[in-house]
Amino acid sequence: MNIAVENILTLNNVRADFTMHSGRIYVILGSNGCGKTTLLKTVIGLLPLRDGHVLADGRDFFKLSRREVSRIFAFVPQFFNVSLPLPVLEVVSMGAVNSVNPFVSVKSQYTDALNILDECGIGHLADRMITQLSGGELAMVNLARAVMQNSEFIMLDEVDASLDLKRKRDYYNFIKKMAVEKGKGVAVITHSPDFLFSIRGDDEVLAVSQDGRFHHEKVRNVTEEFLSGIYGVPLKFISSDSGKGLTLGENI
């Protein structure tokens, strides 16, 4: 599936034009408050569109039914609050509510939910009450719930912000698995641009600079100058036996 974002204008005046494809990763970068989340929420219809069009395989996205929308986008917010003391397995199973087949048994849904929890590395939490989880555990459960929705695209808003180093590694590995093995399109807002060094050159960067301008680039073409311009600080690529990374450079 293709999502064509045609010259849209968001509520905070970010003008963006790009196309998203199933099976690709889209890393959304930018400083705090630049408009990353507003851009993401505008594309998926959670915020109003001031101008432009969003087309899903040529169809006007904003004219689709809620069920059709749920089959295209699954959204994982940065903060996920659940006040009801439900088991994790039950919460994840609820992700299938918009695509439920009346001929599929509840037992089958639980089996699928358990498999997804295992893939996310949190299968041991299946029987835990959702109200007893840490922030990082809750973030991963919300990710599993979105995967259970079985949409074409998974849209992630700084889910890694509350994760420790191990869970962050598992989270990024899971993102890559969803795109490469499952054929899902994944858009991920992150403050860890080092993630770029572990994905494919054909994956893409969607960035908003401090002045509100939108930038679009293939991962293979991202340079030190590009990232320095996005963040407003000098950044340098570094290499080691464990791979590439980023560090602050000299003043520019």
Residues 118-135 pLDDT 10s: 998 899 999 999 989 988
Residues 20 and 27 sit within 8 Å (Cβ to Cβ): no
Looking at the structure, give the CATH architecture of the domain made up of residues 2-248. Answer: 3-Layer(aba) Sandwich (3.40)
Domain spans, the chain: 2-248
**Interatomic CA distance for residues 65 and 133, integer angstroms:** 34
Grouped pLDDT means (10 residues each) for the chain, 252 residues = 96 96 97 94 96 96 92 89 83 75 60 92 93 89 92 94 88 93 96 93 95 95 95 90 81 50
Q: What percent of the chain stands above pLDDT 70? A: 94
User: How long a stretch of residues is the chain?
Assistant: 252
Show Cβ contacts of residue 179 under 8 Å, excluding neighbours closer than 6 positions. 23, 24, 25, 185, 186, 203
**Interatomic CA distance for residues 154 and 157, integer angstroms:** 10
Q: Which amino acid is at 18?
A: F
Residue 83 structure tokens = 């006040």
Q: Which amino acid is at 11?
A: L
